[in-house]
Amino acid sequence: MPDSLKKKSEIELAQSIPAVNRLVLEGRSGINRAIGNRPQIAAETDIEAIKVWLARFVDTPTTFSNYRKEAERLMLWSTLALDKPISSLTHEDLLVYQHFLADPQPAEQWVMPRGRKVARAHPDWRPFAGPLAPTSRRQAIIILNTMFAWLVTAGYLAGNPLSLSRQRSRKAKPRVTRYLDDGSWTEVKLAIEAMPRDTPREQERYFRLRWLFSLLYLCGLRISEVTQNNMGGFFCRRDNSGQDRWWLEITGKGEKIRMVPATSELMDELASYRRENGFPPFPSQEDTTPLLLPIGRRPRSLSRAAVHSMVKEVFKAAAARLRARGLPFEAQAQRLEQASAHWLRHTAGSSMANNEVDLRYVRDNLGHESISTTNTYLHSSDDARHRATEEKHKIDW
């Protein structure tokens, strides 16, 4: 873990514990501490143990942030509400905590004032924005179960207090619903094409958006993959038929590397974008230029928040175009306003799967572990099922 991030997580977690009874709440003598076993980590306190667990995710910032958030929330609740260290929590305590997540009370102690977002060091900062939805509560418990299970394996805890929770039978994954249908995707492209190009700055912005949406759709990239990779990932090699094929090597989630086909469409967009920024049309493998540049052509990476904002702005413009056509398009406009950059990844997967690209290729293009995940993009069979049911299954009152 980089020293700066290690120090940051250490300070934030340490500050979560109230000063009163700090020694007791450190967990040095927690009732669930493993006794007699040879620990695999050197941690002596709960904070130190959780820091070691979190260090495993430092290379995936989103995962690190989410896992730290859930560990911190539990630590705050355990110490403030129960006056217990995490290493003394029982199964019953965790059942109470799950109810607490549905309605964090007292609200003035736990919930951020509505409409406010303040820095963690601000006295008005609170760990919750409001009650957690059922899906968020489930995700929180999944993360905490992972943490407790790892601490048991590491020899720090004697048992996992969440292991007694009722195990739900594994269900088939539902079809992905957060994607753009063909009509909405067309509106997004038209919104980009309608953007002004009268000034050099407007033209630079237009080409950047075209390139960004080409990357997100043709390659199915995550925002983090756009911001953390560079032009040197492009390379060309000759296939068995003697044709030159371009590829893009991406370092993605969990530091996994995959190769994404760089289609001729993508390479045309890349050449246009690079020319607009004063570069040769195609990069070398030593090129360290970020995949996406800020306006002004400064060779530095954009933040994930900046790219997210750019995508949302385009979706908002597309929604406005739909809304201008009248009430029949309101629902479609509202759905576009709810969309995020990750919807484009789902849209890419859905397009490939439903246009009969082999699901194994779709899996590898998107970097999925299992083809069962890729299978959730296959909507054409659902559509056919709906048409058949509509045509042949009638009540005939």
Amino acid at 192: I
The rounded Cα 289 to chain-centroid distance in angstroms is 24
| Structure-model confidence comparison of residues 32 and 352, the more confident one | 32
Name the residue type at position 71. Answer: A
Q: Where is average pLDDT lowest: 30-34, 163-167, 178-182?
A: 163-167
Tens-digit pLDDT profile for residues 96-139? 999 999 999 999 999 988 767 777 778 888 899 889 988 889 99
Q: What is the pLDDT of residue 375?
A: 54
Ordered by start, the domain boundaries in the chain are 3-153, 182-387
Confidence band, pLDDT 50/70/90 cuts, at residue 7? very low
Q: Which fold, 182-387? A: hpI Integrase; Chain A (1.10.443)
The full DSSP string for 74-107 is HHHHHHHHS---GGG--HHHHHHHHHHHHS-SSH
Which tokens go with 179? 């994607």
Least confident of 273-277, 321-325, 356-360: 356-360
Distance CA 109, CA 125 (A): 10
Structure tokens at 384: 């056919």
85-89, 182-186, 297-301, range with the lowest pLDDT: 297-301
Radius of gyration of the chain (CA): 25
Q: What is the pLDDT of residues 195-251, one digit of tens each?
A: 999 999 999 999 999 999 999 988 889 899 999 999 999 998 888 888 888 888 988
Please list the residues that pair with 176 across neighbouring strands: none
Residues sharing a CB contact under 8 Å with residue 322, sequence separation 6 or more, in sequence order: 187, 329, 330, 332, 333, 336
Which pLDDT band holds residue 32 (cuts at 50, 70, 90)? Answer: very high
pLDDT score of 174: 57
Worst-scoring range by mean pLDDT, 129-138, 159-168, 256-265?
159-168
Q: From CA 392, how far away is CA 326, in angstroms rounded?
A: 34
Averaged pLDDT score across all residues of the chain: 83
- Give the C-alpha separation, 189 to 307, whole Å: 17
For tokens 């989630």, the residue is 253
Question: How far is the C-alpha of 205 from the C-alpha of 211, rounded, in Å?
Answer: 10
- What's the whole-model pTM score? 0.58
